[in-house]
């Protein structure tokens, strides 16, 4: 799961995953409001990537997310 600062960034990252990592399944986008926050401006967005065979390099995914001011969150 990649954690990103906003929806636009999450959508861009989701689109890039196929090109950069060969992800064939469409990643799921999920809004993750910060604890106690109701304002949508304070929400992070998650890009959920299914990798049942654990073939994706977690370090490379973390670096990729960092390019967009995000990070890889281990499940």
Instruction: Judge whether residue 2 has pLDDT over 70.
Output: yes
Q: Which of 23-27, 39-43, 70-74 has the lowest mean pLDDT?
A: 39-43
Average pLDDT over residues 2-22: 93
What predicted TM-score, i.e. pTM, was given to this entire model? 0.83
- Banded model confidence at residue 6, pLDDT cuts 50, 70, 90: very high
Residue 28 tokens, joined: 């799921």
* C-alpha 17 chain-centroid distance: 9
pLDDT digits (tens, 9 = 90+) for 38-65: 555 568 999 999 888 888 999 999 999 9
The confidence score (pLDDT) of residue 32 equals 83
């Amino acid at each position: 799961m990649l954690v990103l600062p906003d929806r636009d960034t999450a959508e861009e990252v989701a689109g890039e995953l196929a090109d950069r990592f060969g992800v064939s399944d469409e990643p799921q986008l999920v809004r993750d409001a910060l604890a106690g926050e109701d304002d949508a401006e304070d929400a992070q967005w998650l890009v959920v990537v299914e990798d049942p065979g654990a073939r994706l390099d977690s370090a490379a995914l973390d670096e990729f997310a960092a390019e967009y001011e995000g990070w890889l969150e281990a499940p």
